[in-house]
A and B are shown apart, each in its own frame.
Chain A
Amino acid sequence: MKIPGIKLHNAADLANACSLLEKYGESAKALAGGTDLVVDLKQKRAVFEHIVVLGGIAGLDEIKLRKGILQIGALTSLASLAESRIIKKHLPALSDAASTMATPQVRNMGTIGGNVAMAVPSADLPPTLIAANARIITDSPTGSRIIPIREFFTGPRKTVLGAAELIREIEIDVPPANSGLSYKKFQLRNSAALAVVGVAASLVVEDGKISDACIVLGAVAPTPLIAVKASRSLIGAKPDFEAFANAGKIACEEGKPISDIRGSKEFRCRLIGVLTRRALEEANGRIRTAPKRRKN
């Protein structure tokens, strides 16, 4: 399995990477961990002549917590995400999602930036990032911008990123103590398996009632899908089994799964219901403080 002729360009920094991408246009692509791109090049699913290597850029693989904001560099490996103390403490759903992915070897290579930019419908990180309202910070020859992740995905393997635009960092506000977030994935094996369905759910509870909820479905539509009706059904409800199961039922109807080798459409629909309920239950269990009483 040989890759057709390519030329590698080592980017000194992100600005340099962007200008290399601009210079070589459609024949160029950025390489992070390579676990998607090299596989695609080998299978001739992607053909690029110029490969812009991001791996040597310093400082892009750090996870920081600054003023209540989690900042995750685009080159942070899936293994670091899975193991990071900061992420485990403040956004355990994201380290859970990372640890369900691929294999130890691929997690050591693959990056968060690559997973998000690749925009595969079954990708494991996007649902949780959407439920957590992440922001994608990018650089390009025309400057930097902040993209709310809800506006990022436009189709299977399609995003709003420009051809010479690269992700620098992903930012997430640390969720408040009266909230919880969870990711549940169904896979055919516990290793090296893509999601048949993945569901991320977040909950905010005030005065014993749900004041905000967001359910995001992965692998059941061309892009990660916010189950709007199911999420709305929870507002004002008590966070209990009944409310969660009901939301699951509604979510089943919102997904638009296809049948493929990993599962039939019908099977996926059933999974959405079960995983939604389980994700909500876990999210609820992660709420740390007693619900705050309003002063008046």
Chain B
Amino acid sequence: MHKALVIDPDKCTSCLQCEMACSFEHEGVFNPAKSRIKIFEFEHGKRSIPYTCTQCAEAWCMHACPVEAITVNLSTGAKEVNPDVCVGCKVCTIACPFGTVNYESDSGKVAKCDLCGGDPQCAEVCPTDAITYVEADWTGYDKMRDSAVRAHS
């Protein structure tokens, strides 16, 4: 079964370790500007919300790509960009309803989360478990359990 990233913004402290781990894994450099996961801060840091690609089953980006640069990794379910094929037309960035595919002007290609081939580094380094990597069919399990407790206490 595939796994998916689960994000719990209430736990996020905005340390950006995940952004650094992402850029280090993909580009070999600590550079939040190159991270495929982003933390958004609101109200002087009252909330910090991590956001990245959810790996849609029928991915708009993949279908929109005119040169088939985006393909499914069958072992992880991730939609991966093949940089050798990508022509940098940016149609996928328009097609994605969530904004999680982005163009990088230095390479002339797009970049998106690829689940690091099944070992997502953001989840690995997150010190608060705001990002976890769990069975895709049970991403709601923890939240469901918490709700159950709330409903019956």
A binds B: no
A interface with B by C-beta (< 8 Å) = none
B interface with A by C-beta (< 8 Å) = none
